[in-house]
Structure 1
């Protein structure tokens, strides 16, 4: 049998046996046991953690308030967004475009990017990062909230400053850097 895959690719390797130590993950965003954190004024729910995928990827539901979104940044992992509700302005390598519900955006590793909710209402999207790790970053810098729909807390200026210092300290650990717009 011939293969069109390059030599040394997974197609040339046998499929590993099943790992019975890993289990099926079913994530109900409103169900019990999920972790919800407020990040940059939005609420992020860790649907599937890196711990559940042997570090292969993580899946996060993001509720982003009107006008919300991260500053320009880049990281060494792939990031994919599927916009379920709302409109976002995505900036990729300095060029911006509006993305509407139903669209999927893939951001290649190391590329500078940002997004901003321009819909005037809360945007809802799924964010998959591969490999995992972004879920841990969000949990480390976010403020825990009771549920995915609970209003995010309004931090004091002192709390915002402390979170900013924590983010800056953790960026290298999570292989992320902020970039100029």
Structure 2
């Protein structure tokens, strides 16, 4: 008899070893940046996802909130996070955790590209990005140049899908 509170090992789950430059990984342009899904929710039984975000100067999402935790570690550059109306700058090596349901956004306000790792728990944000973004060829591929109508369509798509992914966009 096993009295452990820990469930037995699930042999159907496998080790995930992800390399950001792997062309087989999904790379998608979102909010002006290029995001690579390093570890998808389907690989973690929905527990979390890990996204490599390359954000150009001026890039970043609009104000929003969601019903899951989101943690960012800045790998390169500096990113300004606005959390409940208060701003702070996180630099390479620093980590920012956004609690579930809190309004926030981030912006690369520097003149240089920034790179972040974003972990969301539970997973789902990875799927949202794949549905609202545009596929690109790799992690350093630029986002496609979108005209005003295409930008409006992406915003409308994100707005339509937001509730399905426990997200609320806070701008019109």
2:67 maps to: 76
Matches within 5 A, 1:94-133: 94-133=85-124
SS at match of 2:11: coil
Q: CA deviation at 1:32?
A: 3.5
2:28 maps to: 37
Query: Matched residues in 2 for 1:26 and 1:32: separation?
Result: 14
2:23 touches 2:137 (CA, 8 Å); kept in 1? no
Q: TM-score, normalised by structure 2?
A: 0.95
1:48 paired residue among 32, 39, 43: 39
Length, aligned pairs only:
169
Q: CA deviation at 1:179?
A: 2.4
Q: Alignment RMSD, CA only?
A: 1.3
Matches within 5 A, 1:1-181: 14-179=5-170
Larger radius of gyration: 1
SS at match of 2:163: coil
Deviations 1:26-51 (A, max 9, x none): 00000142000000110000000000
Query: Matched residues in 1 for 2:54 and 2:23: separation?
Result: 18
Which ranges of 4 or more aligned residues in structure 1 deviate by more than 2 Å? none
Gaps of 5+ in 1: 1-11
Query: Matched residues in 2 for 1:115 and 1:27: separation?
Result: 25
Q: CA deviation at 1:13?
A: 6.5
